[in-house]
Amino acid sequence: MDKKNILKEFGRNLKAERNRAGLSQEQLAEKIGVSYGQVVGMIERGETNTSLSVIVSILDALDLDFETLFNRKKN
Residue 75 pLDDT > 50: no
73 is a domain residue? no
72 is a domain residue? no
Q: pLDDT tens-digit profile of 46-62?
A: 999 999 999 999 999 99
Q: pLDDT tens-digit profile of 18-38?
A: 999 999 999 999 999 988 889
The DSSP symbol for 21 reads T
71 is a domain residue? no
74 is a domain residue? no
* Count of the separate structural domains present in the chain: 1
37 is a domain residue? yes
Which stretches of 1-75 are DSSP H helices? Answer: 3-20, 25-32, 37-44, 52-62, 66-69
What pTM does this model have?
A: 0.88
CATH number at residue 11: 1.10.260.40
